Amino acid sequence: MNGYIRGRMQIQFEVTSFHLAYFDINEKRDADFIVDKLSGDKEVKSVFIYRETKALLSANGVNSGLVYFRAVPRDIFSYDEGFANYLRLEGKTSQIGDDEIVLSRKTASKLKVSTGEYIYLTAMALEDKAKIKFKRLKVADLFSTGFIELDEQMSYINLETCEEIFGRDVDYSVAVKLNDYRDTLSFARNHKFNSFSYQSTWIEENFNEFTALKFEKNVIAFIVLLVVIVAALNVLTAIHIAVLEKIKDVGILKATGYSPRNIILIFLLNGYYIGFIGLFIGVFIGLFVMSNLNEIIVFFGYLIDYYQNFIYTILKNFIDIARPENVEIFSKDFYLDKIYTDISFWEIALVGFVALHFSLIAAIIPSVKAGRVKPYEVIRNG
């Protein structure tokens, strides 16, 4: 969840919602004023004008459905490094030319087009007026952010082409990216242009989504706690069995002068030792899996495919069966192109601390039972 939330936030910040946006700006000179005002601010990493409307894209008799049709500066890829990195262009286009469009790979696949081919744009410039715009555009490049849902929503042209198509029918907006996204609220309070624009921060734009993600993370944390409790019960069982197996040894130790406190300490240390070894092995394996998660998933997919094809090769000589489909454990066409991971050593330390002390607590009951063993009962019962 850490990796998913962080990956989603980074893509939203760089490509979609940015850190702060000024929108509903009617005049370009007002948008230019905001850009000039913020360009020299030391907190600002990049600032640029963009325009956005919804459009229907079509080609080869296929429609894409409504997408957010966004106009950005033609040199956005060289001007904004984060935008270029997270949009992940297929052809590494340096700029968006006139009458050109940059599509997602998903949209291009749906429209059955590739780089260099043409699509048709149909857009309503104003929602309150039946004013339809048409334009034939060349596909300049394809992109993939890694999040299929976002990819299907976005396409890009340059500001000059947008001006040619829509004129003044589409409002201007200004995107702002800060050096530290955590400063967004304070920056927004100190930089208001209420006379000709409205503000929108990344918190407002993504509030519902990120609130839901944090809730999911808390649910997973609760599941981890249950796993730790189950592990503690296993420690309790192991120490209890150890007490039963060592009952004679405990009786001998008690007979030779060991106090109940000494006996309890022995089994408590045994429980702590089991917990520490389990924690060390678990953290080591967990870090390895997290660091190579996508490769491990691909490996097991290949392994399953190999064995099912092997079985198919044998069985087809005796019975008529259909060749099994290749197994895809994690489908890249479903939501993400990979599983994002982000290792938090603070959270590892917290879970480790809780797990270690749960194992110690679990060892208390059988340890106290061992401390109460009476030597004469052991001797009498053999």
Q: Say whether pLDDT at 261 is over 70.
A: yes
- Please write the tens of the pLDDT for every residue from 222-253: 888 888 888 888 878 887 887 777 777 777 77
Q: Which residues of 29-42 are buried (b: 16+ CB within 10 A; e: fewer)?
A: ebbebbbeebeeee
117-121, 297-301, 318-322, 377-381: segment of lowest average pLDDT: 377-381
Of the candidates 66, 58, 146, 104, the residue with the CA atom closest to the CA atom of residue 334 = 146
Query: What letter would DSSP give residue 325?
Result: P
What pLDDT does 160 receive? Answer: 92
58-62, 209-213, 298-302, 331-335: segment of lowest average pLDDT: 331-335
What pLDDT does 38 receive? Answer: 92
Q: SS3 of 22, please?
A: strand
In whole angstroms, how far apart are CA 304 and each of 299, 314, 343? Answer: 9, 16, 28
Mean per-residue pLDDT of the chain: 82
CB 43 within 8 A of CB 191: no
Of 32-36, 52-56, 207-211, the range with the highest mean pLDDT is 32-36
What pLDDT does 125 receive? Answer: 60
pTM over cut 0.75:
no
- Please write the tens of the pLDDT for every residue from 182-196: 898 899 888 888 777
Say which residues have a Cβ less than 8 Å from residue 318's Cβ, sequence separation at least 6.
Answer: none
CB 35 within 8 A of CB 48: yes
What pLDDT does 249 receive? Answer: 77
Of the candidates 86, 21, 84, the residue with the CA atom closest to the CA atom of residue 47 = 21
| pLDDT band, very low/low/confident/very high, at 43 (cuts 50, 70, 90) | very high
- Please write the tens of the pLDDT for every residue from 133-179: 888 999 999 988 877 777 778 889 999 998 888 888 888 999 999 99
What pLDDT does 158 receive? Answer: 92
Query: What letter would DSSP give residue 16?
Result: I
> For residues 241 and 30, which has the higher predicted lDDT (pLDDT)?
30
> For residues 380 and 323, which has the higher predicted lDDT (pLDDT)?
323
CA-to-CA distance for 348 and 360, rounded, in angstroms? 18
What pLDDT does 334 receive? Answer: 55
CB 96 within 8 A of CB 156: yes
- Please write the tens of the pLDDT for every residue from 310-324: 888 888 888 877 777
Say which residues have a Cβ less than 8 Å from residue 198's Cβ, sequence separation at least 6.
Answer: 22, 23, 24
Q: Say whether pLDDT at 129 is over 60.
A: no
What pLDDT does 177 receive? Answer: 92
| pLDDT band, very low/low/confident/very high, at 265 (cuts 50, 70, 90) | confident
What pLDDT does 213 receive? Answer: 78
Which tokens is 116 given?
A: 């260099």
- Please write the tens of the pLDDT for every residue from 69-89: 889 998 888 888 888 888 888
Q: With the CA atoms of 96, 101, 106 and 109 taken in that order, what torsion angle do they form, in degrees rounded to the nearest 10?
A: -120
**Rounded average pLDDT over 40-59:** 88
Q: Which residues of 6-18 are buried (b: 16+ CB within 10 A; e: fewer)?
A: ebbbbbbbbbbbb
Q: SS3 of 177, please?
A: strand
CA-to-CA distance for 73 and 31, rounded, in angstroms? 13
CA-to-CA distance for 342 and 281, rounded, in angstroms? 20
